[in-house]
């Protein structure tokens, strides 16, 4: 996901949004999280492909709404991560299996959405054979730009 920051910064600059803090990676290499609910997760850790920011503009004073689309390739998953602010993902095609600390795995097929609460370890795998197209939506404070922090591997 870090790879998406540069185009987002360029886009926000183009949209003349209020000053937004520079993204900071807060992953702690000495305290990595490698399991959810005590289990290692299926799927190869890999970033989203073909990420485009569909919308990124002020929503209410001090906040902006960020909507992006990306493709989760079959057989891959996002690294275990946390969100500083809750958001949701809608699945346009394919299917996603969500792993969230404290909850059983949940299948989100095309045409459904799921909520990602803040401060909860989670990951999402595409365990199917079809690539999954996703739309992520987050409302974020302008001074806290990081919407996802990978805690499984600080280099992903």
98 is a site residue for Cu ion (CB under 5 A): no
Count CA atoms closer than 13 A to 18's CA, side-chain side.
Answer: 14
8 is a site residue for Cu ion (CB under 5 A): no
Q: How many residues bind Cu ion (CB under 5 A)?
A: 2
Question: Nearer to Cu ion by C-beta: 13 or 28?
Answer: 28
Q: How far apart are alpha carbons 149 and 91 in whole angstroms? A: 21
Distance between first and last Cα of the chain: 7
Q: How far is the CB of 117 from Cu ion (least distance, A)?
A: 9
Q: Around Cβ 140, how many Cβ atoms within 10 Å?
A: 21
Question: Nearer to Cu ion by C-beta: 64 or 138?
Answer: 138
116 is a site residue for Cu ion (CB under 5 A): yes
* Site residues, Cu ion (CB under 5 A): 116, 122
């Amino acid at each position: 996901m870090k790879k998406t920051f540069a185009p987002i910064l360029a886009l926000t600059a183009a949209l003349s949004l209020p000053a937004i803090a520079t993204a900071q990676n807060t992953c702690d290499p000495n305290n990595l999280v490698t399991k959810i609910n005590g289990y290692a997760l299926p799927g190869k850790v890999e970033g989203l492909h073909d990420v485009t920011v569909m919308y990124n503009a002020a929503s209410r004073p001090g906040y902006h709404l960020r909507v992006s689309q990306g493709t989760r390739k079959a057989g891959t998953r996002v690294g275990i991560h946390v969100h500083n602010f809750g958001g949701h993902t809608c699945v346009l095609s394919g299917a996603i299996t969500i792993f969230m600390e404290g909850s059983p795995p949940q299948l989100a097929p095309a045409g459904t959405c799921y909520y990602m609460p803040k401060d909860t370890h989670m990951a999402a795998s595409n365990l199917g054979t079809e690539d999954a197209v996703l739309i992520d939506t987050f409302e974020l404070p302008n001074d806290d730009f990081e919407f996802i922090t990978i805690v499984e591997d600080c280099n992903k």
